[in-house]
Amino acid sequence: MSTNAYYIPHKATWPIIGTVGLMITLAGFANVLNGSSIGPAMMIMGLVVFIIMLAGWFTLQAVESESGMYSTQVGISYRMGMMWFIFSEVMFFAVFFGTLWYTRNLSVPWLGGFGDGPGRSTHETLWPAFEAMWPTNGPGEIGGEFEPMGTWGLPFLNTLILLTSGVTCTWAHHGLLAKNRDQLIKGLIATVTLGFLFVGLQAMEYHEAYTEMGLTLGSGIYGSTFFMLTGFHGLHVCVGAIILSVVLFRSWKGHFKPENHFAFEAAAWYWHFVDVVWLGLFVFVYMM
């Protein structure tokens, strides 16, 4: 931290590149969904631009940070930015947890004839034989027969893996603070490895669900909430593990000082956030 000034960059080219990339990606995806033949090419092109932007922008930030252009005050802006970003992610997951709560506790019981809610007349006129229960694929038995996901096999192992990765991440942080580069790098390697291991096991679980249990995204409300919640979480684990890999690479390059390592902190906060979301998933999706 060689300067006291608030660093204000004057020309930014990455934002517009990223915007164009993201827009082409999404327009491409929309075309894919509509069955249009230009969709896949567009989507891949957009993604490539977007990834180039990510690499370029983050490299720029890392170079600027290492050359001491960011004052303590700039660092505070970054930390606030990351904190509020994580808050927005919390709200995003809250929607799907809320959906799970609402369907389990309100709409499915109403469809089964409980309470004086709106679903009761639906029960009486459309599906008088439907009995409320969980898991369910609804009175129309959408998606056909399925077997619900168990708790104490892979999911429990994954819980242990993520919790351990939280510990190794903190251990790495202690190494960084104590100027013990070896501990920092070893801790990060362990964290990233555990992260990708988690994703791998999750993929195995999905494979088993689709091929052996008849459990798919289309298995009524149980399949919908199960795959939406665990899927978005898995995606976040992937992103978190990639961020941590970059942090690992930078640590190996000799970046970060005990008093200045925002990227490490942000990655660690993000990692702990996906960890906490998983605990919520384990309790509300797998256990209850």
Partner 1 sequence: MSAVVAEHDDHHDHGPEKGLLRWIITTNHKDIGTLYLVFSLAMFFLGGAMALVIRAELFEPGLQFVEPQFFNSMTTMHALIMVFGAVMPAFVGLANWMIPLMIGAPDMALPRMNNMSFWLLVAGALLLASTLFMEGGAPASGWTLYPPLVLQTGAALPFAIFSVHLLGISSIMGAINIIATIFNMRAPGMTLMKMPLFVWTWLITAFLLIAVMPVFAGAVTMLLTDRFFDTSFFNAAGGGDPVLYQHIFWFFGHPEVYVMILPTFGVASTIIPVFARKPLFGYSSMVYATASIAFLSFIVWAHHMFTVGMPIAGELYFMYATMLIAIPTGVKVFNWTATMWKGSMTFETPMLFSIAFVVLFTLGGFTGLMMSVAPSDFQYHDTYFIVAHFHYTLVPASVFILMAAAYFWLPKWTGNMYDEKLGQLHFWLSAISVNVLFFPQHFLGLAGMPRRIPDYAVQFADWNMVSSIGAFVFGFSQLLFLYIVIKTIRGGTGEKVTDEVWEDASKHSLEWTLPSPLPYHTFTTPPKEIPTEHF
Window 84-123: residues binding partner 1 (CB under 8 A): 84-85, 87-89, 91-92, 94-96, 98-99, 102-103, 106-108, 110-111, 115-119, 122
16 is written with which tokens?
A: 């517009």
Q: State the binding string over 186-225 for partner 1 (x if CB under 8 A, else -).
A: ------------------------------xxx-xxxxxx
Shortest separation between residue 18's beta carbon and partner 1, angstroms: 6
Which of 41, 48, 76, 288 is close enough to bind partner 1 by CB under 8 A? 76
Q: Which of 45, 55, 5 is nearest to 25 (CA)?
A: 45
Helix boundaries (H) for 67-144: 72-102, 108-111, 119-125
Window 228-257: residues binding partner 1 (CB under 8 A): 228
Q: Burial letters for 181-215: b for 16+ Cβ neighbours within 10 Å, e otherwise?
A: eebbbebbbbbbebbbbbbebbeebbeebeeebeb
Q: Is 5 in the site for partner 1 (CB under 8 A)?
A: yes
Amino acid at 249: F
Shortest separation between residue 200's beta carbon and partner 1, angstroms: 23
Tell me the number of residues near partner 1 by CB under 8 A.
79
In a 3-state reduction of DSSP, which class is residue 36? Answer: coil
- Measure the N-to-C terminal CA separation of the chain; round to a whole number of Å: 50
Shortest separation between residue 141's beta carbon and partner 1, angstroms: 8
Q: Is 59 in the site for partner 1 (CB under 8 A)?
A: no
